[in-house]
Amino acid sequence: MPQSLQNERQVLNLDYMGLAEVPVLGRYEYRSAHPGLRTHTHPRTVEICYLVRGYQTYRAGGREYHLVGGDVFVTPPGEPHDTGGHAEERGILYWLNLRIPDRGESMLMLPVAESAALRTKLSSLPQRHFPGKPILKQIFNDIFALCEKPAKPLVRVAIVNQLVRFVLEVINCAHHRESLHCSPRIARIAERIRSDPSQNYLLADLADEAGLSLSRFKTKFKAQLGIAPREFILRCKVDAAKRSLLNQDRKVTDTAMELGFSSSQYFATVFKRFTQQTPVEFSTKGPAVPLLPATGPQTVASRVSLYDSVSRH
């Protein structure tokens, strides 16, 4: 079975199943940051990412998109994209590359008319970044489980059914956006942490402020912001540290103490977990993956157009 499994990352090419339109089906579960993605494109291929847990930044169409757990991000064919100089962060992410056929051709074993209808829906998504649903993870896992079986015709049919189901769920999520608006209390707490990350916040105190039990606070915070409150606090501290360390007059130890870390060693451990660099490396070299000039179109319409992208190749 053609696949690569490198520690926390698994990638499949479904061509061996006779599904050449799925050159990449992948998932990773990172416990720490990994090198970010450099600028690249997928000619004639739409990429759909589903972030199960964590936080991730992507750059496409001249702007950055910040994903939290539960979000979907769609990149149309031929569009340059990368992680905007950011690392691939700790978390769980699934992604699917789906080659878009020419008009009059079949996609995912569907009749030509149904293929055209599916392509039309994919070409007119109202937004490229939107909340998904937990069922997307289950569908991905079902596909990976099916790929462990011998490549028989009915297994292929079962995989295709799951792929079609996944695409339809994504389209539904994009058109019927279920907003993850924070409750006013959670939003207020999050904004205070962002604006003043130097404080040593105790989760029990934040839960009291929100009028919730500690366990309920953790659950609601993660559901509404996509990451656990303790990780959110650390992320805000690391983001503040990045700004501070870019000032050449700032020392690592001073930055660590001002942001409430118990020691410079602990600060370095946390910083590297989120950025894959030590604070000293970041302050002297800048981000591990610099922004690279993308080739090709740098702007996209407010509605993602797959037809336009396909016609250019």
For residue 309, pLDDT over 90 is answered with: no
Q: Which residues fall within 8 angstroms of residue 264, CB to CB, at 6 or more apart?
A: 252, 253, 256, 257
**What does DSSP say about strands 71-75 and 45-60: parallel, antiparallel, or unpaired?**
antiparallel
pLDDT at 284: 82
pLDDT at 86: 84
Q: What is the pLDDT of residues 114-134, one digit of tens each?
A: 999 999 999 889 999 998 999
pLDDT at 11: 93
Q: What is the pLDDT of residues 217-257, one digit of tens each?
A: 999 998 787 788 998 999 899 989 988 888 767 788 999 99
For residue 299, pLDDT over 90 is answered with: no
For residue 78, pLDDT over 80 is answered with: yes
| Alpha carbon distance 115, 104 (integer Å) | 8
| Alpha carbon distance 56, 257 (integer Å) | 27
Summarize the confidence of residues 146-172 as an average pLDDT.
Answer: 94
Looking at the DSSP assignment, which residues form a beta bridge with residue 125? 304
Summarize the confidence of residues 277-296 as an average pLDDT.
Answer: 64
Q: Which residues fall within 8 angstroms of residue 187, CB to CB, at 6 or more apart?
A: none
Average pLDDT along the chain:
84
The CATH code of the domain at 3-179 is: 2.60.120.280
Superfamily for domain range 184-285: Homeodomain-like (1.10.10.60)
State percent of the chain over pLDDT 90.
Answer: 54
CATH 2.60.120.280 domain residues, the chain: 3-179
Single pTM value for the model: 0.74
Instruction: Identify whether the C-beta of residue 192 lies closer than 8 Å to the C-beta of residue 201.
Output: no
CATH 1.10.10.60 domain residues, the chain: 184-285
